[in-house]
Amino acid sequence: MSKIITIILVTVLVVYLFRRMASERVKPPPSEKKGAVEDMVRCQTCGVNLPRSEALMSKGRFYCCDEHRKSDN
């Protein structure tokens, strides 16, 4: 009878350890999350932050709109 209890305990322990190992592997790498966030740039005129793809660039500076780009020149 004690043999059965030992087998059950060992089985439970093995399953627990396997689940813990599996859950640790599932964790997504931090670099993947960072890559999804787009670079933010600051408008030289009003200082608003916006994604680089939406910003206007002139002479190495970023602007939120065409009006601010013109007013800074």
* Nearer Cβ to Zn ion (17/46): 46
Contact 45, 68 (CB under 8 A): yes
Structure tokens at 44: 């030289």
* Nearer Cβ to Zn ion (41/43): 43
Q: CA–CA separation, 9 vs 57, rounded Å?
A: 66
Q: How far is the CB of 44 from Zn ion (least distance, A)?
A: 8
Q: How far is the CB of 64 from Zn ion (least distance, A)?
A: 4
Residues near Zn ion, by CB under 5 A: 43, 45-46, 64, 68
* Nearer Cβ to Zn ion (38/66): 66
Q: CA–CA separation, 44 vs 63, rounded Å?
A: 6
Q: How far is the CB of 69 from Zn ion (least distance, A)?
A: 8
CB under 8 Å to 48, separation ≥6 — which residues? 42, 64
